[in-house]
Structure 1
């Protein structure tokens, strides 16, 4: 057994993903270094100004954009959105309500509805098996 533990570290891309921010928009020192688990926890607990600003105004990574628009990441791609978007751009899309966005929101609603149906069915089956 080891008598000392080494700090668990991660690449900046992994840390950015865990923080929900777009890596190219982060400060250079964040992009160029490694992030320890302790540092990540500190960033989550007490976000610095740059992190608060990115989370508020973006640019946001595609998973965050998809969530804010209520569509899947694949739906974003089908709609032609392949880059990170700012909060302002996301709000403009919500206001403009392009046809692709309405279609993808409807598709996502159906996916959620089907997932809920399957979950309910499985719960009922599990209850019957008891």
Structure 2
């Protein structure tokens, strides 16, 4: 006797996040639906025209926008910027405003500091693993 699998469903926001798209830019039919993993996979494998266009031109969600601009999500939030289209991103990259230049420099500094801390921690671990010298 086999039981039917009771497939879990996900909310539109979760599905949009998994597809890497900005939920408010999706059609109302998408925003009013729930999705099974199989339906999500079908959208990935055979995207409708609106999904293809949204992925190409945006608006993009914050994480995608931040990555395309070369800054952090927090940097976008500080600049009070949310979703941007591909054209808006290109415009900002062509003539970066002061906030974008500052946020890019900030991200570089944060990454450099993280590398410094990682190297220092690795050095500390290596030193603690060395055998003690006999005196």
- Give the alignment's TM-score, normalised by structure 1: 0.86
Runs of 5+ unmatched residues, structure 1: none
**Equivalent residue for 1:48?**
48
How much has 1:68 moved relative to structure 2?
0.7
**Equivalent residue for 1:87?**
86
The alignment of Structure 1 onto Structure 2 pairs a total of residues equal to: 128
The verdict on how the C-alpha distance between 1:52 and 1:123 changes in structure 2, with shifts beyond 3 A counting, is farther
CA RMSD of aligned residues (A): 2.0
How much has 1:118 moved relative to structure 2?
3.0
Runs of 5+ unmatched residues, structure 2: 131-135
In structure 2, distance between residues paired with 1:104 and 1:4? 51
In structure 1, distance between residues paired with 2:92 and 2:99? 10
Q: Which has the larger radius of gyration?
A: 2
The verdict on how the C-alpha distance between 1:30 and 1:107 changes in structure 2, with shifts beyond 3 A counting, is same
- Give the alignment's TM-score, normalised by structure 2: 0.83
In structure 2, distance between residues paired with 1:75 and 1:4? 47
**Equivalent residue for 2:20?**
20
